Amino acid sequence: MNSPVDSDLLQDLRLDAEEQLPRCEQLLIELEQHADDSERLAELFRLLHSLKGNIGMVGLHALLPLPQAMEDILAALRSRQLRFDSLLGDILLLSFDRLRQHLQAVYAGALDYQPDTDCAQLAIALHELAGTATTQQANARQRLLLQLAPGSALQPNATPESPPDCARLLERYDIPADADVQFCLTLMQAIEQRSRYWQGRGLRLLHLTLAINQQGGRVVDPAQLAVATCLHDLGMAFLPLHVLHKESRLSREEVQHIRSHPRLGHDLLRRLERWEDAAEIVLHHQEHADGQGYPRGLREVEIHPGALILAIADTFDARTHERAHQTLSKRPRLRAILEINNLAGRQFSAHWVEVFNHTLQQQPQLAHL
């Protein structure tokens, strides 16, 4: 960019982008559940086209190939040449994030700002993806996603990355490693063997729930929260494997089986003395802030705060790892964070979502476990 940026035009771009980019991200998340929704696709296309026009109006011509290539993808989706899936959604989400980063560099006062070579390469890759044959789309999308988020790659048959060991984790949060706690940790490891999707999950959740609680003022006794985190899906472990691993739509009876797991875990944990809070956290961890959860349909003020914390951590881990065994890659952290924030005040406590955000800002390594 050889000429100075008009400050008024730049301010207009900034104000518009601050509204357009979050809406684009929200639409991408919604499209994952409504892939054939032409109205959502049309709105996403309009927003991106408007943003591209504003970028050109300001004179950031070197940046234009990126939104143009993203527009090519959306045009191919609208014409049914491409089909939307979670891989493509993640690619577009990360592309919007890259575009945001470039715009922020301009806002910061880089009057002679020029996009780096990665930006140009991404634009070329997106343009090529838009024209890739249907039979080659899956491999092309996987390669591009790994280019955008290289840290998401998993090695076949590799042992999951281990967070700090249990002893150090308990010590960090002043949790006595008594017989009950040790028993629950052992049960957690046994539960993880029940499903290939659960391996390594317990320690990741322990690390995140305890950190969120600490960031939020330690409102929940760490030992109670740790035990609940270890055993929150104990009831799920007793469900038939064909239900746990079913990829097609669950029957009404199977849904009832799934929804029974908080109460089953609660009833088993109540058999241990002095773990009443942990049992209540397990019972409440599928309740929603707006009262639409289960098993009791409680609202936020009625839900144990430990359960509000656990629900966020559990969803974050589930979203980042939900595709790992099919694609050998974790989903982008940005995708999970945006989904959780979009559901603040509905599925999740808005207060604890804010604490979750601060926790990841203060300890970004938690998002990489």
367 pLDDT band, cuts 50/70/90, is confident
The whole-number pLDDT of residue 6 equals 74
Kindly report, residue by residue over 4-38, the tens digit of the pLDDT: 567 888 899 999 999 999 999 999 999 988 999 99
Structure tokens at 232: 């929150």
CATH number of the CATH domain containing 188: 1.10.3210.10
pLDDT at 329: 52
Distance CA 306, CA 225 (A): 6
Residue 68, in any domain of the structure: yes
CA atoms within 13 A on the CB side of 244: 18
pLDDT tens sequence across 108-130: 875 566 777 888 999 999 999 99
Query: Distance between CA atoms of 111 and 97, rounded to whole angstroms?
Result: 21
Residues 266 and 286: beta-carbon distance below 8 Å: no
Residues 143 and 207 in one domain: no
Residues 223 and 180 in one domain: yes
pLDDT of residue 146: 86
Q: Kindly tell me the sign of the dihedral angle through the C-alpha atoms of 125, 130, 134, 137.
A: positive
Domain final residue, candidates 149, 183, 214: 149
Domain annotation covers residue 158:
no
Is 160 inside any structural domain?
Answer: no
Per-residue confidence (pLDDT) for residue 217, from 0 to 100 = 97
Q: Which domain holds residue 117?
A: 7-149
pLDDT digits (tens, 9 = 90+) for 207-240: 999 999 999 999 999 999 999 999 999 999 988 8
CATH number at residue 24: 1.20.120.160
One domain, residues 115 and 202:
no
d(CA 24, CA 90): 12
Q: Of all residues in the chain, what percent carry a pLDDT higher than 70?
A: 91
Identify whether residues 135 and 70 lie together within a single domain: yes
15 contacts 6 by C-beta, under 8 angstroms: no
Q: Are residues 199 and 83 in the same domain?
A: no
Q: Is the confidence at residue 1, as pLDDT, over 60?
A: no
Residue 107 has pLDDT above 60, yes or no: yes
Count of other CB atoms within 10 angstroms of residue 122: 24
Cβ atoms of residues 25 and 338 within 8 Å: yes
What would you report as the CA-atom Rg of the chain, rounded to the nearest whole angstrom? 23
% of the chain at pLDDT higher than 90: 68
* 34 domain residue, yes or no: yes
Q: Which of 31-40, 105-114, 247-256, 316-325 has the highest average model confidence (pLDDT)?
A: 31-40
**Structurally, how many domains does the chain consist of?**
2
- Residue 277 has a pLDDT of 98
Residues 212, 322, single domain; the answer is yes
Q: Work out the pLDDT band at 162, boundaries 50, 70, 90.
A: very low
What residues are paired with 153 via a beta bridge? 329
Containing H/E element for 338? helix 333-342
Let me know whether 131 and 207 are in one domain.
no
Secondary structure of 132-188 in HEC code, one letter for each residue: CCHHHHHHHHHHHHHHHCHHHECCCCCCCCCCCCHHHHHHHCCCCCCHHHHHHHHHH
**pTM score, two decimals?**
0.78
Please check whether residues 77 and 123 belong to one and the same domain.
yes
Q: Which residue has the higher pLDDT, 298 or 243?
A: 298
Same domain flag for 31 and 69: yes
pLDDT score recorded for residue 153: 58
**156 within domain boundaries:** no
d(CA 321, CA 198): 9
Residue 1 placed within a domain: no
- Residue 54 shares a structural domain with residue 119: yes
Please check the confidence at residue 206 and state whether its pLDDT lies above 50. Answer: yes
Q: Do both 122 and 184 map to the same domain?
A: no
Residue 348, SS3? strand
- What does the pLDDT read at residue 112? 60
Domain end residue (candidates: 103, 124, 149): 149
Give me the pLDDT at residue 33, please: 87
Question: Could you tell me which residues come within 8 angstroms of residue 275 by beta carbon, excluding any fewer than 6 positions away?
Answer: 180, 224, 227, 269
The answer to whether the beta carbons of residues 99 and 66 sit under 8 Å apart is: yes
HSE-CB for 2 with a 13 A CA cutoff? 0
Kindly tell me if the per-residue pLDDT of 77 is higher than 90: yes
Residue 174 belongs to a domain = yes
The answer on 297 and 191 residing in a single domain is yes
Determine which of 143-152, 318-327, 340-349 has the lowest per-residue pLDDT on average. 318-327
> Considering the domain boundaries, does residue 64 fall inside one?
yes
Buried b (16+ CB within 10 A) or exposed e, 49-72: eebbebbeebbbebbebbbbbbbb
